[in-house]
Amino acid sequence: MTAAVDIKGVTKRFDDVYAVDDIDLSIADGEFFAMLGPSGCGKTTTLRMIAGLEFPTMGSLKIFGEEVGTLPPNKRPVNTVFQNYALFPHMSVLDNVSFGLRMNKVDKTTAAKKAHELIELVQLSGMEKRRPSQLSGGQQQRVALARALVNEPKVLLLDEPLGALDLKLRQEMQGELKSLQRELGVSFVFVTHDQEEALTMADRIAVMHNGKLLQVGTPEDIYERPANRFVADFIGQTNLLDAVVEDDDMIILENGTRLMAPNPLPPGTKVAMSLRPEAVDIGPRGTVPAEHQKTSLEGVVESMTYLGHALDYTVKIGWIDLEVRADAVHAEQRFQPGDEVAVWWDRTSDWVVAD
């Protein structure tokens, strides 16, 4: 099957800055694909290159097998939902939505009919005559969505589409976008800096940093098996313990503690072990279950934060602080600062990344 978007060796340089640095990426037809990274990582530039708003300095960019490298945006079968929507302020909702069809020389009655259908799809019936300035943020977002989708793009590009909405509306729209995508079966390529948004919505995620593609994978891959230290640190909260590989099964921490941590790296490699706070159990010293003896550490509770549903401990393990999240409901015992404790985890829940 041809990929919806196929990027090979694409680089984008602005003067001396490599905004996007030699990336390879393939997005399947019908996929909900998220591009995630901190601001300035090159995710938006990548999206703009797919849209045709920027041209690659080098490399090949194909949409459904057709090379589009330097094709202007109006000649590409993709549409964009812009950050802050970029709705035409001098046009009504209806004129905004039918804009693409009118530019494409679709006859007026057909264009109006299709525009009405899309306005109904995004639940804005009755607002056709309003100007964008008379709509709320959420409604503007829907207009932007309808305006892009009315053209039946083969790929829909979304640039931080939920960034301007408040939390509640954002969560609502996340669900709606996801179901809309399933219904239409069109590839959605979604740029966001919000890792939670990417994890909840996307089929696959690409993590970018400094113009480079660090990892592409399912949300589970990215969260549970990060490819490197940056990804582990960027996605969710994690503890990173510096260590050196001893053999296939063991690593040695900086203070000489040997821990069981299966890894494929050669002995002597400097690594970091990623340990999610929620994967760590906490208990009094000497209560470590036998099977966890080689995946445990001892320390002293430094602070405790009560979150209602959970308890966040900071445990001082000699030279580092370890964040531990305990379930408030099922915790057998609660600890106070100063308590001597042991922490342990399952052999499968840690993850070793090359430094």
Binding residues for another protein (CB under 8 A): 51-53, 72-74, 78-80, 82, 84, 86-90, 99-100, 103-104, 147-148, 151
Q: Rounded to the nearest whole angstrom, what is the least distance from the CB of residue 22 to another protein in the complex?
A: 25
Alpha-carbon distance of 54 to 12, in angstroms, equals 9
How far is the C-alpha of 268 from the C-alpha of 166, rounded, in Å? 48
Phi, psi of 255 (to 5 degrees): -90, 10
The torsion defined by the Cα of 170, 172, 176 and 179, in degrees rounded to 10, comes to: 110
> What count of Cα atoms within 13 Å lies in the side-chain half-sphere of residue 241?
32
Q: Which is nearer to another protein, 4 or 272 (CB)?
A: 4
Strand partners for 7: 25, 61
Assign 291 to helix, strand or coil.
helix
d(CA 115, CA 261): 57
Shortest CB 189 distance to another protein, Å: 13
The smaller minimum CB distance to another protein, of residues 106 and 275, is found at 106
Q: Which is nearer to another protein, 146 or 282 (CB)?
A: 146
262 contacts 271 by C-beta, under 8 angstroms: no
Nearer to another protein, 83 or 210 (CB): 83
CB of 50 to another protein, least distance (A): 11
Nearest approach, Cβ of 183 to another protein (angstroms)? 22
CB of 191 to another protein, least distance (A): 14
The region, left, alpha or beta by phi > 0 then psi within -120 to 50, assigned to residue 210 is left
**DSSP run (H or E) holding 112:** helix 108-121
Q: Which is nearer to another protein, 77 or 236 (CB)?
A: 77
* Cα distance between residue 323 and residue 312, in whole Å: 7
Q: For another protein, which is the closer residue by CB, 98 or 239?
A: 98
Q: How far is the CB of 90 from another protein (least distance, A)?
A: 5
